[in-house]
Structure 1
C-alpha cells in the first residue's frame, strides 16, 4: 500500500507520516521513484503511533515504547493500556468535580480550586511517571533461573515456593472465579490458579516478561500495565494476587495501588499478596543493624535498593478503609497478606 492510501485509511496525512518517519518512529520500504510502501505491520505500527499521540504521548516516549519487531498483539496491548490510563484520569476528574459541586457555592474557596488542580495533577503524575528502575525487560528470559532459594549470603527468594503456595491456599477460590495477577512476571503464581481451572488476567509493565509468560502459559490473558493503572474494568475480577512485586513501590504509592485494586475487585473479593516487607519501622532498623554487625553489605544494599514495605502502615490504612486483613510471616523479610472488604 502506498503512503497516500495508508494516510486515507488511517485518517491522517502523508505529511504526518513523513514527520514520524523523520523522527525514526517508522521505517518504510522505498520503491521506484522513492515511493514509500506500507506492509501490514507498518500499518499497525502507524495506528499505534497515531493513537498514542492522540492521548498526548510525546514522540520520544513513543519511540522508546515501540520496538522494531513488535507483533500486532503488542501494539494493541499498548493502545489498551494508554486508553485505560486516560479513562482513569477522566474518572478522577469527574469524581473530584462532583465532590466540589456538592458544596454550597458560597463555601467554595481558592483552597478548593488549588486542591482540585493539585489532586488531578498528582494522580496523573503517579500513573505517567511509572518507571522500571530494575530493567525487568533484560531479566525476563533468565528470570526463572535467577529464582534460587539457596546459595546466597542474602537470598530474597528464600521461602519463594512456600509463599506462592500460601497465596493459593489463602485465596481459597472456586474454579469459576476470575483472577488478576499484578506483576505477573513469568507466570509462576498464576500457574497455580490456572491448574485449578481459574481464568487469569496477568498484568506487567515489562513487555519482555509478558512475552516469556505467553510462551509458558498461552491461556493467560496478558495485559501491559502496572499497579497504579490496571487495564481492567471496574469490578472486573473476583480475586487479586501478587508476589514479589509490590515492594517496587514506595509505601505512599502502595496505598494508591490498593485503591486501584479496590476499583477492579468485585464486592467481597479477595486480595492475597506475598511480598518483601518488615513488620514495622523498628524491625527494619534492627534488621539492618544486625546485618551491619555481621558485615553483610550485600543484604543492606538489596534492602535499600528497593522499597520493602512497612506492614503496620499498610494494615492500618487497609483496616481504616474497611478491609479485614490477615497476616503471615514466612521469614524475616517475606510476608503474606490476605485482604478482604465487606460486601
Structure 2
C-alpha cells in the first residue's frame, strides 16, 4: 500500500507519516522509484502511533514503547499518561475556581490588586501542594516482599499490630453492595480492596508505585489499577460510591491530608462513604502522651518510626469531615491505629 493510500485510510497526511519515518518510528520498503510501500502490519503500527499521539505521548516515548513490543508496556504508559492528564485537569479546575472567586459578585471593573495577589498566591500554594509529595520510602523497592514484611513479630514497636482486624472492620463498616464502585487509595498489593470482591463490588485501586500496582494486579486480576495519589486522584467528579484507605495516609503531611480529604469528597457520589484506617493519634495531647511514654521506656525504634512518617491528628480529620457535612464515627484499635468512618 502506497503512502497516499495509507494516509487516506487513517485520516492523516503523507507528511505526517514521513515525519514519523524521519524519527525512526517507521521503516517502510521502497521500490526502485523510491515510492514507499506499507504492509498491513506497518499500517497497524502507524495507527498505534497516531492513537498514542492523540493521548499526548511523546515521540521518544512512543519509539520506546513500540520497540519494547510488550502490550503491558503500552498499558502502563497510558496509565501514567492518564495520571498526568488528571493532574493537569485538576490544575485547570483550581485556576477556574480561583478566577470564579475573584470575579464572583465583583461588578467593579477595577478589581482589587490586593485580592488578585492573594488569590494568585493561594493558587501557587495549591499547585505546589499537589506536586510536592515525594516517595522517600521507595515503595517500588518494597513491592516484591511487601506482604511478607507485614508479618512482624519480635519487634518492640509493631506498626502492623491489629492489621487484619482493622481491614476486616473496614469491610464490615462500609455499606457497599454488588455493582457499586469503591476506590482504594494507596492500594499497595490489594490487601484491603480485594476483601470487597466477594461482595461483587468493583474496586479501583490507586497507587503512585508502579511495582505495587503490578503486584496488586498479579494477585487480584479483577481489580482495576490506576496510577495516581491522594493529592490528584485519577478520576472525574462523583465517580465512586465508597472510598477506603489503609496504612497510607500517614505518608503525606498534615496539610496534604486536608487536600486529600477534599479530593475524596470530589470523587465521592452523593450519599457515599469514606473509611480510613491508619496510624494516627487522637489529638496533639494524645501524641504527646505516647511520645513521652516511648521516650521514658527508651524505645528509640518507635520514636524513629513515628518521626519518619506523618501520623495523623485524628481530631483534625474528624473536624474537616464534619465541617463538610459528614457524619463521622471513629474506632480505636490500639494507641497508634484508628479508623475514621464518614458518611453523608
TM normalised by structure 2 equals 0.82
Distance 1:252 1:13 in 2: 50
Contact residue 184 and residue 243 of structure 2 kept, 8 A: yes
Distance 1:136 1:73 in 2: 21
Q: Which residue number in structure 2 is paired with residue 320 of structure 1?
A: 323
Contact residue 251 and residue 309 of structure 2 kept, 8 A: yes
Give how far 1:336 is off.
0.4
Q: Which residue number in structure 2 is paired with residue 87 of structure 1?
A: 89
**Counterpart among 283, 302, 308 of residue 305 in structure 1:** 308
Identify if the C-alpha distance between structure 1 residues 157 and 128 changes in structure 2 by more than 3 Å, giving closer, same or farther.
same
Identify if the C-alpha distance between structure 1 residues 114 and 141 changes in structure 2 by more than 3 Å, giving closer, same or farther.
same
Contact residue 21 and residue 27 of structure 2 kept, 8 A: no
Contact residue 294 and residue 303 of structure 2 kept, 8 A: yes
Contact residue 281 and residue 313 of structure 2 kept, 8 A: yes
- The question of 1:169 aligning with 2:176 is answered no
Distance 2:137 2:26 in 1: 36
Deviations 1:197-243 (A, max 9, x none): 10111100000000000001111111000001101111100000000
Give how far 1:122 is off.
1.9
Deviations 1:72-95 (A, max 9, x none): 110110111111111111111112
Contact residue 44 and residue 72 of structure 1 kept, 8 A: no
Q: Which residue number in structure 2 is paired with residue 51 of structure 1?
A: 56
Distance 2:276 2:321 in 1: 13
Identify if the C-alpha distance between structure 1 residues 8 and 186 changes in structure 2 by more than 3 Å, giving closer, same or farther.
farther
SS at 1:318 equivalent: helix
Task: Structure 1: state its 5+ residue gaps.
Answer: 22-27, 33-37, 63-67
Deviations 1:266-317 (A, max 9, x none): 0110000100000011111121111111111110000000000001112112
Distance 2:264 2:20 in 1: 43
Identify if the C-alpha distance between structure 1 residues 198 and 103 changes in structure 2 by more than 3 Å, giving closer, same or farther.
same
Identify if the C-alpha distance between structure 1 residues 8 and 71 changes in structure 2 by more than 3 Å, giving closer, same or farther.
farther
Q: Which residue number in structure 2 is paired with residue 65 of structure 1?
A: none
**Counterpart among 107, 129, 137 of residue 140 in structure 2:** 137
Contact residue 100 and residue 112 of structure 1 kept, 8 A: yes
Distance 2:17 2:238 in 1: 36
**Counterpart among 99, 102, 107 of residue 100 in structure 1:** 102
Identify if the C-alpha distance between structure 1 residues 141 and 270 changes in structure 2 by more than 3 Å, giving closer, same or farther.
same
RMSD between aligned residues: 3.7
Task: Structure 2: state its 5+ residue gaps.
Answer: 1-5, 30-41, 63-67
TM normalised by structure 1 equals 0.82
Contact residue 133 and residue 252 of structure 2 kept, 8 A: no
Give how far 1:119 is off.
2.3
Identify if the C-alpha distance between structure 1 residues 263 and 30 changes in structure 2 by more than 3 Å, giving closer, same or farther.
same
Counterparts of 1:187-202 in structure 2 under 5 Å?
Answer: 187-202=190-205
Q: Which residue number in structure 2 is paired with residue 228 of structure 1?
A: 231
- The question of 1:275 aligning with 2:278 is answered yes
Identify if the C-alpha distance between structure 1 residues 115 and 142 changes in structure 2 by more than 3 Å, giving closer, same or farther.
same
Q: Which residue number in structure 2 is paired with residue 25 of structure 1?
A: none
Distance 2:184 2:87 in 1: 19
Q: Which residue number in structure 1 is paired with residue 35 of structure 2?
A: none
Q: What is the count of residue pairs matched by the alignment?
A: 325
Identify if the C-alpha distance between structure 1 residues 151 and 10 changes in structure 2 by more than 3 Å, giving closer, same or farther.
farther
Contact residue 48 and residue 79 of structure 1 kept, 8 A: no
Identify if the C-alpha distance between structure 1 residues 31 and 97 changes in structure 2 by more than 3 Å, giving closer, same or farther.
closer
Identify if the C-alpha distance between structure 1 residues 17 and 135 changes in structure 2 by more than 3 Å, giving closer, same or farther.
farther
Contact residue 55 and residue 81 of structure 2 kept, 8 A: no
